[in-house]
Structure 1
Amino acid sequence: MQRQIAAGLFFAFIAVACGASESASGQFTATQNCEAFSSFAKRSNPGAVQVAAGTSYTVREINKVDYDWLRVDVPGAEPSLRWVQRSCGTPALTAQSAKAPAGQAGGESCSIANKQDSYVLAITWQPGFCEHASYNGKKPECDALGSGKLEAKTLSLHGLWPNKKECGTHYGGCEGPAFALTKETIDKVAPWMPNFYFERSFGAYEWNKHGKCQALPPDEYFIKAVSAVRVVNDSEVGKIVLGSAGKSFRVGEFFDRVKARYGEQVASSITLVCTQRKYLQEIRVALPLDFSTGGELPQLVGNAPAPAPREIGCDDQVLVEAAGRN
């Protein structure tokens, strides 16, 4: 019996060893704020560390060949090596570590323009992002919010992301025209994407990562994205968030209100994204390929594809950071 146990332990050890992490190199650019774990199996996160959207990190390991976790170097964290979910951003690995199964991130089919089958509209609650993201002075709109020079009066555009079913969130990085906007477009976008008041680096990042994967030129793409945000801002969704600034709401009550106002199709198309499990950071809306911004929220959502998860990283009670200076 003891020999059987020992043999079992030996083969269990071999199985674990075969599934061990693999060395990797390259960069990982976060497209959202996500927890950075010292151990993703135990979900341990000393210091409540997060990677920040728009920031690149050096990759040290991946959890397996067809990886879904990357170990990156997070400056200032203790320990500095942290595990981050692949779906949190865009990996750019080198050599063998860059290989992935067909249909997943890195495959050529996931970076060919105009192959999208739907969209995701990512909308930021700017005070929630700025208060809890480690932006280290790299977000002038956040500095302006903190100093009182800028006030969040509406929801803000994070990005309009073309999606392709077999690629999931990894559809992006397509070839396309360079990022360039007219002054008229910049003036129209800035109130809804406040980074545009100060610089255009984030806009360029969103265009290069997502915008090039669809057919609209940059001006039309950003105007259409802003028009979609305005529809959400003026809807029951915007009323709940703006009306809760400095307070909180329950996730269940949020979706009950949206469902009561617009029905199940609209409610199931929305995902709430939180940081530190309790602060509202983002609202994502699943949109169909041919979405229209000429009506209200049901017309925008239309026949959106399969329902999205209703929340990512949110506890039942969600806090909405105050819109003005504290």
Structure 2
Amino acid sequence: MQFLRACLLILGLLAPTAALTDGERAGVFDYYVMSLSWSPNWCELTGDARQSPQCDADKNHGWTLHGLWPQFTRGYPSYCQSGQRPPSRSQTSAMADIMGTGGLAWHQWKKHGSCSGLNPADYFALSRKAYARINRPEVFRKLDRTVSLPASVVEDAFLKANPDLTAQGITITCKQGHIQETRICLSRDLNFIPCGPDVQRDCSLDDALLTPLR
């Protein structure tokens, strides 16, 4: 009897997980969040320890594309069963110039791109188009030392560089006292739109760190 109860308990625990997975259908979402990572900060906090080639000085990475994420008004889909053939190594490697590494491109496809309803080639092409859509402020590339600044300064710089972008369509995140990412909300045809309430979570630090290019 105890064995039977254990089996029933395991089945009961597994069923909700399967239902959640089955509920995420590719192509069903409301808008995109494009996430841009300040590469020098990522390297200092994470990449150097991993010996990531993204952090090599000759790469000269500034704002890299972390990902283009399908988003619901609240929450987001992930790891969708898209039915698409996975991207090839050459497809992911070709994204390293704006994403840092092909490994990140693969992970982004698996977690987020699979939910876009697009095949890998079209998803990466759209990601590249979204990245080119944004004017990334040049002032941050001119830093010659680590600076401490309010996170709002980074947001203001993006707003100034992109006049059609509004404060409701961008959020700045921080991690371990450093500027982490700039997240910009885009419609499915890549127009600027306001972010959903769960995305609008601005970093409130007045002394966030921003490190210079390698």
TM-score range, shorter chain: 0.7 to 0.9
Cα gap change, 1:269/1:253 in structure 2, threshold over 3 Å: closer, same or farther? Answer: same
1:271-290 correspondence runs (5 A) = 271-277=171-177, 279-290=178-189
Q: Work out the CA distance in 2 between the residues paired with 1:276 and 1:212.
A: 30
Partner of 2:140: 241
Conserved in 2, the CA contact under 8 Å of 1:120 and 1:284? yes
Q: Is the 8 A contact 2:172 2:179 kept in 1?
A: yes
The answer to whether the aligner puts 1:180 opposite 2:70 as a matched pair is: no
Q: CA deviation at 1:230?
A: 2.5
Instruction: Answer 1 or 2: which has greater helix percent.
Output: 2
Larger radius of gyration: 1
Closer/same/farther in 2, CA of residues 139 and 99 from structure 1, 3 Å limit: farther
Specify whether residues 129 and 305 from structure 1 end up closer, same or farther in structure 2 by C-alpha distance, changes over 3 A only: closer
- Displacement of 1:172 in angstroms is 0.9
Amino acid at match of 1:209: K
CA drift of 1:250 comes to 2.3
Question: 1:193 aligned to 2:93?
Answer: no
Distance 1:203 1:256 in 2: 28
- State the Cα distance separating 1:98 from its structure 2 match: 7.9
- Percent sequence identity over matched residues? 25
Of the three residues 253, 260, 263, the one matched with 2:153 is 253
Contact persistence 1:129–1:281 (CA under 8 A): yes
Shift of 1:186: 4.0
- Paired residue secondary structure (1:283): strand
Q: Is 1:268 equivalent to 2:175 in the alignment?
A: no
Cα 1:194/1:257, change in 2 over 3 Å: closer
1: CA distance between counterparts of 2:180 and 2:154? Answer: 15
Write 1 or 2 for the structure with the bigger share of strand: 1
Alignment correspondent of 1:156:
64
Q: Which residue of 2 aligns with 1:211?
A: 113
Which structure is higher in RCO with an 8 Å CA cutoff and minimum separation 6? 2
1:269 partner letter: G
1:20-169 correspondence runs (5 A): 96=13, 99=16, 106=20, 108-109=22-23, 111-133=24-46, 136-137=49-50, 139-142=52-55, 145=56, 148-152=57-61, 154-166=62-74, 168-169=75-76
1:317: which partner in 2? 207
Partner Cα separation in structure 2 for residue 230 and residue 262 of structure 1: 12
| Deviation for aligned residue 1:281 | 2.0
Structure 1, unpaired ranges of 5+: 1-93, 292-299
Displacement of 1:276 in angstroms is 0.9
- 1:220 Cα shift? 1.8
Superposed CA RMSD: 3.2
Give the TM-score of the pair, scaled to structure 2.
Answer: 0.76
Deviations 1:219-248 (A, max 9, x none): 12112212222332xx2x433433446334
| In structure 2, distance between residues paired with 1:203 and 1:315 | 30
- CA distance in 1 between partners of 2:196 and 2:89 (Å): 36
Mapped contact 1:155–1:229 kept (Cα < 8 A): no
User: Residue 141 of structure 1: CA displacement?
Assistant: 2.3
Q: Does the aligned pair in 2 maintain the 1:269–1:286 contact within 8 Å?
A: yes
1:158: how far off?
Answer: 0.9
- Secondary structure of 2:185's counterpart equals strand
**Alpha-carbon distance in structure 2 between the residues aligned to 1:140 and 1:175:** 31
Q: CA deviation at 1:317?
A: 2.3
Unpaired segments ≥5 residues, structure 2: 1-10
8 Å CA contact 2:151, 2:206 repeated in 1? yes
Report SS of the residue matched to 2:138. Answer: helix
- 1:14-67, Cα deviation, whole Å (9 max, x unpaired): xxxxxxxxxxxxxxxxxxxxxxxxxxxxxxxxxxxxxxxxxxxxxxxxxxxxxx
Give the TM-score normalised by structure 1: 0.52
Q: In the alignment, what sits opposite 1:83?
A: none
Question: Do the aligned partners of residues 253 and 231 (structure 1) sit closer, same or farther apart at CA in structure 2, a change above 3 Å counting?
Answer: same
